[in-house]
Structure formats: structure tokens, C-alpha cells
Amino acid sequence: MNRSTHAPAVPLSRQITWWALAFPLVMLFALATHNVYLLNWIHVLAGALWTGADLFMGFILGPVMRRLDMQARTAVIAWLVPRTLLYFPMVSLTAGTAGWFLATWFGFTSPDNPDFYLVVLSVTLVAIMTVMGLAFLLPNSLRIWFELQKPNPDRERIVHINRINIWLAGAQGVLQMAIILVMAAYVV
């Protein structure tokens, strides 16, 4: 690909969704002030945005991307990847951390609590999703971004890595639906 036919590359710092840092900041404020309402709000908001984005990526964007030609796929990936580099880690870590503190504050983490097994199941699902996100999705996104910075990026490699990420996002969406089922059991 000849870069001279494209606009100059926009620096990564101008493409990242910096506003996603608001999630952990709100969580830290809620923790510092022991504000249960605010902590629960940020937990639910971050969890909903994480789940929604993963389901969208895995089950809507994935099938659309498979029908695009290589150049169009690469263009979508080039736009999408920088915007998710900070977004996904922030919403996922905020949702999981806020959830842990809420469970602790409400006594669900005590082995004597009748719902303790639900906490263990929730923590297990969150741990699996966190490892998937931080050990696979994020490094793959960085690989894509670095490949896109090359004078002649390997489009097939980019599409291949992104295909893995879309499958992982779909798997996370399924796990997130499972954790929502577990959390719904707390209310019953």
C-alpha cells in the first residue's frame, strides 16, 4: 500500500478514547467516599458498556467484517483499534473491581454467606475475561496498531489478528451473559 495516497497518520494519542479514564476515576472516588450508590452505578455502567461493546463486536461487527473486502476491513480496523485500546481495559477493570468491592461491602465474600458460591463463580468468570482481555485482546490490538504504522502493512496479518479478536470478543460476550445470569440470582 502506498501511504502517499492516504492522509498522514494521526498520532495514537489523538485517537485513544481518553474519556474512558473517567470510569476508574469515578470508581476511585466512590471507594474513597464509601459511596455505595456511586460505586454500584459505575459498576453497572461499566459492565453494561463492556458487555454491549463485546456483543456488538462479536456478533454484529464480526459478520459484517467477513463480508468486506480486504481494504475496507483494514480501514475499519485502523479506525476501531486505537479507540478500543483504552476503552476495553478501563470498562472491564472498573466493572470487575467495583463488583468485588460491592460484594465485599455487602458481605457476599464471606464463606458463611449463602450466596458465597455465586461470588466464587462471578470472580472466576471475571478472572477468565480479564485474562482474555489483558493477555490476548489488548496485545493483539497493539500488534494490529503497530502493523498499521508500517509503510506497507500486511493486510492479511491485520485481518487475521482482528478475526481472532472478534472471536474472543464474542466469547467474552457469552461469558458476560453468563455473569449477568449469576448476578440476577443475587436478587432472587
Question: Considering the chain, what is the average pLDDT of its residues?
Answer: 89
Q: How confident is the model at residue 185 (pLDDT cuts 50, 70, 90)?
A: confident
Q: What's the rounded mean pLDDT across residues 114-137?
A: 93
Domain residue spans of the chain: 10-187
**What pLDDT is stored for residue 1 in this prediction?**
42
Q: How confident is the model at residue 7 (pLDDT cuts 50, 70, 90)?
A: very low
pLDDT value at 4 more than 70 = no
Q: Read out DSSP for the chain?
A: --GGGSPPPPPHHHHS-GGGGHHHHHHHHHHHHT-HHHHHHHHHHHHHHHHHHHHIIIIIIHHHHHTS-HHHHHHHHHHHHHHHTTHHHHHHHHHHHHHHHHHHHTTTTSTTSTTHHHHHHHHHHHHHHHHIIIIIIHHHHHHHHHHHTSSS--HHHHHHHHHHHHHHHHHHHHHHHHHHHHHHHHH-
**What pLDDT is stored for residue 187 in this prediction?**
60
Q: What percent of the chain has pLDDT over 90?
A: 59
Q: What's the rounded mean pLDDT across residues 150-169?
A: 90
Q: What's the rounded mean pLDDT across residues 105-109?
A: 94
pLDDT value at 127 more than 90 = yes
pLDDT in tens, 38-92: 999 999 999 999 988 888 888 898 889 889 998 898 889 888 988 999 999 999 9
Q: What's the rounded mean pLDDT across residues 9-27?
A: 89
